[in-house]
Amino acid sequence: MDRLPVLVTGATGYVGGRLVPLLLARGYTVRAVGRSLDKLRSRPWSGHENLQLAEADAQDASALTRAAEGCGAAYYLIHSMHSRQADFAAADRRAAYAMVRAARDAGLTRLIYLGGLGGLGEAGSGLSAHLRSRAEVAEILSLAPAPLTFLRAAMILGSGSASFEILRYLTEVLPVMVTPRWVRTKSAPIAISNVLTYLAGCLESPGTIDRTFGICGPDVLSYAELFQLYAEEAGLARRLIIPVPVLSPRLSSYWINLVTPVPASLARPLIDGLRNECICAEHDIRSLIPQALLSCREAIRLALDKTRRLSVETCWHDAGMPAPPEWLNCADAPYAGGYDLSCGYTTLLDGRPEDIWPAVARLGGDTGWYGTDILWRLRGFIDKLVGGPGLRRGRRLPEDIRIGDALDFWRVTTAQAPNRLALLAEMKVPGEAYMELSLTPRGEDRTELTMLSRFLPRGLAGLAYWYAVYPLHDLVFSRLLTGIAKAGGRRIISAPKRTTPVFRNACRALLGRRKPPENG
């Protein structure tokens, strides 16, 4: 076994977040790379004695080189196909070239890349943009001096995977489906546990070096057959599926956006890729890394069981995490080109912060937003209509919360129990929105609970949006605080009151930008 650390890029993503603990359990020293050290440190495996953490953006070759120095083999698990990336193919190209330079400069001994089936001379002109991009990344990575192992996976079935979530929600919500032609396309789905075994096994099988393999499960099924299979495993009635030729991938993605947690920006390339059959033409890897391959029924059963037991290790929305905008810390939005609008409320409760924190940590998902859920659901529905994540995305687990988690249409940027929870909005808004809940001890057995909402509008549309919803703030935010108190069984000593002047921000917006402070 190579004693050099194994580099895992994309360590907080869906696959990377499960591969790291598997490699650690097999005795490897692992250097996990992500864009945020705080997010890496929040993972349950972050304290392992054989784990090293490194921070690097996938498109920053210098940062990747620093992260890779002293490592031997490296896993490339980067994919830019998410709602915040307008041109994922271009972003993937930049990241792949950065990895090539890092592999060269850091002296990596081999690369292992997980991509998708399709491309590599297989009627490339008819491939979806998603599958073409996956193949293109492999071609770029092959330029590195380190030999490349390219694993080409079909649809991955596992608790929390995007493909499984689309399958789950469509089947559970729709007893009758009017579907496009892609539901008849054949594929060979593979269980996430089998994917991980193949990935880890590459380190122990010299025969995989400098080779390309298709990795598929034992079944070849259409999406329509998967719908029925899921219905059987979930105890649902058989679904009526009516295929029609007129539903395009674009229309399908909008429908999936409304019915499932997966946003249209991610659903569309996934659905577009379903026009291409994903079936392995060879099975060479099965002799090099033998394992028991789960059938689709077994994979769905296992994924359902983990979902019901609330033991989902990683989710499709785990990947990526935008850095908190600089305007949140610098307080310079007014003279940097915008207006930092804010609305805050505070209340005094009996009890210590640690008594109240569990109610704060349960926000969102099935728990809801304590008091005005109908307004939150309405806002989530509107967000879905315009292509945002909405509230259906929910949260990974109902009580455990960590940095980088998705929480309805928010992303957790800070989770400091029992004092602070900070959320950055991923909803579709004309600007950037942020919300923070803080718990501060005030004397013996008393806690000040404060909620602060901040917004950096984008042009007149942003200002119009802020002041259109401003009248609802008093209702929503004050009830949020009283709801937290009630959920935590705490007595309210002083009722919620506003901490920000009602018209201060409006006056600033109308009168112009303030000058920067003397100290810059």
State pLDDT tens for residues 322-354. Answer: 566 777 765 443 433 446 789 999 999 999 999
Report whether pLDDT(81) > 70.
no
> Where along the chain do the CATH 3.30.530.20 domains lie?
326-511
Burial pattern 264-289, b for ≥16 Cβ within 10 A else e, equals bbbbbbbbbbbebebebeeeebbebb
168-182, 288-302, 397-411: the lowest-pLDDT one: 168-182
- pLDDT, tens digit, 9 for 90 and up, residues 26-53: 999 999 999 889 899 999 999 999 999 9
What phi, psi does 372 have (nearest 5°)? -130, 45
Is domain 6-318 given the CATH code 3.40.50.720 in the classification?
Answer: yes
Residue 122, judged by CB atoms within 10 A of its CB (0-12, 13-18, 19+), counts as: middle
Who has greater pLDDT, 314 or 122?
A: 314
On whether the CB atoms of residues 347 and 496 are closer than 8 A, the answer is: yes
In this structure, which topology does domain 326-511 adopt according to CATH?
A: Alpha-D-Glucose-1,6-Bisphosphate; Chain A, domain 4 (3.30.530)
Rounded to 10°, the helix 129-141/88-106 angle is: 10
pLDDT value of residue 129: 74
Q: What mean pLDDT comes out for the span 306-310?
A: 89
- pLDDT, tens digit, 9 for 90 and up, residues 471-484: 888 899 999 999 99
On whether the CB atoms of residues 11 and 17 are closer than 8 A, the answer is: yes
> Where along the chain do the CATH 3.40.50.720 domains lie?
6-318
Report whether pLDDT(514) > 50.
no
What phi, psi does 42 have (nearest 5°)? -85, -5
List 242's β-bridge partners, or say none.
Answer: 178
pLDDT value of residue 334: 41
pLDDT value of residue 127: 66
Residue 480 CB contacts under 8 Å (≥ 6 apart), including other chains: 369, 370, 371, 372, 451
> What's the token pair of residue 89?
């193919």
Who has greater pLDDT, 391 or 249?
A: 391
**If phi over 0 gives left and psi between -120 and 50 gives alpha, with beta otherwise, what is residue 127?**
beta
Q: Grade residue 321 by pLDDT with cuts at 50, 70 and 90.
A: low
pLDDT value of residue 118: 63
List 150's β-bridge partners, or say none.
Answer: 113, 212
Q: What mean pLDDT comes out for the span 199-204?
A: 97
One-letter amino acid for residue 355 of the chain: D
State the average pLDDT for the chain: 86
- Euclidean distance between CA atoms 28 and 19, whole angstroms: 11
Report whether pLDDT(244) > 80.
no
Residue 224, judged by CB atoms within 10 A of its CB (0-12, 13-18, 19+), counts as: middle
Who has greater pLDDT, 330 or 255?
A: 255
Q: What pairing do the DSSP bridges indicate for beta strands 51-55 and 30-34? A: parallel
42-46, 102-106, 116-120, 428-432: the lowest-pLDDT one: 116-120
pTM for the predicted model, two decimal places: 0.84
pLDDT value of residue 337: 42
What is the largest distance, in Å, between two alpha-carbon atoms of the chain? Answer: 73
45 CB neighbour count, 10 Å cutoff: 19
- Cα 333 to Cα 64, 222, 344: the distances in Å are 31, 52, 18
pLDDT value of residue 332: 42
Who has greater pLDDT, 519 or 130?
A: 130
